[in-house]
Each structure stands twice: as C-alpha cells, then as structure tokens.
Amino acid sequence: MTPRPIYLDHHATTPVDPVVVAAMLPYLTEKFGNPSSRQHLFGQEAHAAVEEARAHVARLIGAEPGDIVFTSGATESNNLAVRGAARAPGSRGRHLVTTAIEHPAVLEPARTLEHEGYEVTVVAVGPDGLVATDDVARALRPDTVLVSVMAANNEIGTMQPVAEIGRLCRERGILFHTDAVQAVGRVPVRVDEWETDLVSISAHKMYGPKGVGALYLRRARRPRVRLQAQAEGGGQEKGLRSGTLNVPGIVGLGEAARLAAEALAAGEPARIAALRDRLLAGLRREIDGVEVNGSSERRLPGNLHVSIARAEAETLILSLGGRIAISSGAACAEAGGKGSHVLRAVGLPDERIYTALRFGIGRFNDADEIDEAVKALAAAVDTARSRASAAPR
C-alpha cells in the first residue's frame, strides 16, 4: 500500500483533532436532541452542550459568550457581517472599505452591495502583502458604514495591522469586521485589544469539523452592533441566524477552541514556526532560485509561500507524484483562470505567480516530514526543470 501523502496544506483545511471527534460523537448518537426543545432531557442536554461550546469559543478570543453567533462556516459569517452591517436599519451610510486581498466570501458580498447602490473602496496592499493603516484612514468617509480587513491572509499568510485599524474605526464610530479564520487558534486573538466589532471564525481551519463556524459580534458591551439577519425563520441565535443548530458541529468547534487555547499557552505557534523555518532553510539549501512571497516578519507561524524559479508549480506538483499535499499559489483563483487575485494584488510578475507554492504547516506535522518534503521537492524541481528544458520550443 502506498503511504498517505504528507499533509502540508493547513490553510485549505485541517484534520479534525481526535479529541474533537470524541467530544462530538455522543451528539451524533444518543444525545441527538434539538436545543430548542427545552421541555425534555434530550433538548436540555443539547442546549447545555451548545452553551458550553459558546463559552469556549468566546474565551479563545476574549469575548463574552453572548457575543457569539453560530453559523455554517466563515463564508456565512462573512456574508452576515458584510451584508448584515450594510443593510442594518439606521446604518450610517452606504460606503464600505475593504482590501484587495480579502477572501471571496468578503469580496463577493461587497460586490453584490455595489450592484445595490453601495460604494466600495478597495484598499491596495504593498509588495509585502500588508495594508497600510494610513491608506485605510484615507479611504474613510462620513458615510462609511463598515471596514472589513482580514486578520491573516489564507494564501501568503500575512498578518494585517488589525489593532491599528480597529482603533481608527472606533475613533470614527465605524464598524470594523475582521475575517480571522486563519488567525484564530494559530496566534492569540483578542477582540477587545483589536477593537473589532465583528469577527469571522471557521471550525475546519482550527482542527474542528467542516460546515460550522461563528461570528463574534459585540453585544455585551457598547456600542452594540446591529445587523440585519440573512436567514429568517425560527429565530434561533437571537434571531440573527435562524435554523436548527448543528449541535455536533458546534460541540466540535467548542472543543477545538478549548484545545487551541491550550495549544497557544503550550507554545504550539513557536513549534510550528520552527518547522516552517526548517522547511525554508531546507528548500534554500537544496534548490536554487527560491524566493519568499510576502512579508517574512508579519506572517502566520505555519505559512510559507515561495516561488521557485524555472519550475512551473502545476508541473512541479505533478512531478511530486502525490507524495506531498500542497497547493500551487495560483490555485485559489482557478475558477477565474487568471491566477490568484492575492498574488496579483501583491504585484508579483507572472513568472513568480505561476511558480508559486503555498505550504501550510500544522499541529500534527513533525521534523521528519519536513525533511522528507524538502527531499521530495528538490527531486521534483530537478525533474520539472529538465522536462522544461527538454520541451520543444
């Protein structure tokens, strides 16, 4: 039997931690109740489990449990935040500010609002993949209702100055949303220090299950955030997100949050950053023409994004023969066929984009896997380059 590939694609998704699976299982079997059915034990135990999960998620980001709304994932959280804030009754205007490297789950709802007559200012990023707070400040207007800037980018891993942007927005009384999917559980996230009003979270990027997420929205303290609900129905989640709660998923998210808090306290980010540095050092030692894309300083611990000269990424991944699970840098915008909007926004030339690889290192990787990945990549680069030079011109 061929061994499973080494998984180095933790920005796409993460494996579910076995501890999380164990916590979820009873809620798929005997504890199957609907948390809204409070008259009997089944509903009561489901309700209690959801509230415990809510407390774990809140604690991880320094929020109050009442500030957490469960959703079907961060795509829904982002849509609820962006559309919900813009369309809230009494909102201060019809202008939004976001950045060129946001996830499509922010950019697409912003575009939809534009078709409805809202104005959207898209702030550029520098060659380091960072947005300048001054540029955000210049984009603000008296009728700006929402600023949405992600905490950490899912391709190049760059971490934006969210605390500075939060302060700026708070001073002007403008709502600030941050898509923190890639940051939560990987680096410390404190909603009060960041002065954020809305924060999107996804379970499957932090060793929880797919199809469940959360939106933090500040309600316990002032100024309270008002949103227009996007799904109407039974009035669950204080009317902000109707629909029977995904109890096993929510329990999984809660347990993943509890484990993440432990892992952060136990130094997991430093351990993962050391593996990332080992990977980069190995690649530089074995392969010539390795260039890092995006800021090296303000970057997620497990992220490495490189371009390898004269080794087209798709060819390289084929040459790897399925031994290492990674993504080509352009993969995130395959549907459009124009290459990643993030790498374009950073201003990389075509040859850097088409030779770009994204590595995402996670909780269960070890040094042996990193060394094996370096070896496999070095061999695959040789193969890819010799194929390219042998190809007829």
Q: Does 155 bind ligand PLP (CB under 6 A)?
A: no
Interface segment toward ligand PLP; rule CB under 6 A; list 69-77, 215-223, 313-321, 361-369: 69-77
Ranges within 177-196 binding ligand PLP (CB under 6 A): 179, 181-182
What are φ and ψ of residue 356, in 5° steps?
-90, 140
User: Judged by CB, which is closer to ligand PLP: 105, or 165?
Assistant: 105
- Of 46, 152, 206, 332, the catalytic one is 332
Q: Which is nearer to ligand PLP, 74 or 320 (CB)?
A: 74
Sole binder of ligand PLP in the list 205, 241, 258, 385 (CB under 6 A)? 205
Stretch that binds ligand PLP, among 25-33, 53-61, 201-209, 236-244 (CB under 6 A): 201-209
Whole-number minimum distance, CB 289 to ligand PLP, in Å? Answer: 28
Alpha helices, DSSP H only, in 104-200?
104-115, 133-139, 162-172, 191-194
Work out whether 213 is an interface residue with ligand PLP (CB under 6 A): yes
241 counts as binding ligand PLP under rule CB under 6 A: no
Residue 202 sits in the site that holds ligand PLP (CB under 6 A): yes
Q: Write down the residue that tokens 């076995």 correspond to.
A: 18
The backbone region for 111, taken as left when phi is positive above 0, alpha when psi lies in -120 to 50, beta otherwise, is: alpha
Let me know if 332 is a catalytic residue. yes
Shortest CB 73 distance to ligand PLP, Å: 3
Residues 56, 103, 299, 385: which binds ligand PLP (CB under 6 A)? 103
Return d(Cα 393, Cα 381) in angstroms, integer: 20
Closest to 34 (Cα-Cα) out of 54, 49, 22 = 49
Could you tell me which residues are beta bridge partners of residue 158? Answer: 299
CB-wise, 205 or 219, nearer to ligand PLP? 205
Q: Is 83 in the site for ligand PLP (CB under 6 A)?
A: no
The residue whose Cβ lies closest to ligand PLP is 73
If the CB atoms of residues 202 and 303 are measured against ligand PLP, the closer one turns out to be 202
Bridging pattern class, strands 213-217 and 198-202: antiparallel
Please, which residues bridge with residue 96 across strands?
120, 146
User: Letter for the amino acid at 286?
Assistant: E
105 lies in the site for ligand PLP, by CB under 6 A: yes
Query: Considering beta carbons, is residue 103 or 385 the nearer one to ligand PLP?
Result: 103
Is 8 an interacting residue with respect to ligand PLP (CB under 6 A)?
no
Which residues have a Cβ under 8 Å from the Cβ of 36 and sit 6 or more positions away? 43, 47, 234, 236, 244, 245
Question: From the list 73, 129, 185, 362, which residue makes contact with ligand PLP (rule: CB under 6 A)?
Answer: 73
Tokens 């204080």, residue located: 238
Min CB(201)–ligand PLP separation in Å: 9
What does the radius of gyration of the chain's CA atoms come to, in whole angstroms? 22
Tell me, by CB under 6 A, how many residues bind ligand PLP: 14
Map the footprint of ligand PLP across residues 243-302, applying CB under 6 A: none
Smallest distance from ligand PLP to CB 143, Å: 27
Phi, psi (degrees; rounded to nearest 5) at 141? -135, 165
Are 52 and 249 in contact, with CB atoms under 8 Å apart?
no
DSSP string, 249-295: HHHHHHHHHHHHHHHHHTTHHHHHHHHHHHHHHHHHHH-SSEEE-S-
In the bound state with ligand PLP, the residue whose beta carbon lies nearer, of 74 and 251, is: 74
Fill in the amino acid letter for 246: N
Contact present, 147 and 97 (Cβ < 8 Å): yes
* Smallest distance from ligand PLP to CB 154, Å: 3
Minimum Å gap between C-beta 115 and ligand PLP is 22
Those residues whose C-beta lies under 8 Å from the C-beta of residue 10, and which sit 6 or more positions away, are: 205, 302, 360, 361, 362
Q: Measured from the CB atom, is 332 or 374 closer to ligand PLP? A: 332
Largest distance between two CA atoms of the chain: 75
How far is residue 209's CA from residue 28's CA, in Å, rounded to a whole number?
Answer: 13
Residue window 112-151: x/- pattern of binding to ligand PLP, with contact defined by CB under 6 A: --------------------------------------x-
> What is the binding site for ligand PLP (CB under 6 A)?
73-75, 103, 105, 150, 154, 179, 181-182, 202, 204-205, 213
The residues annotated as belonging to the active site are 332
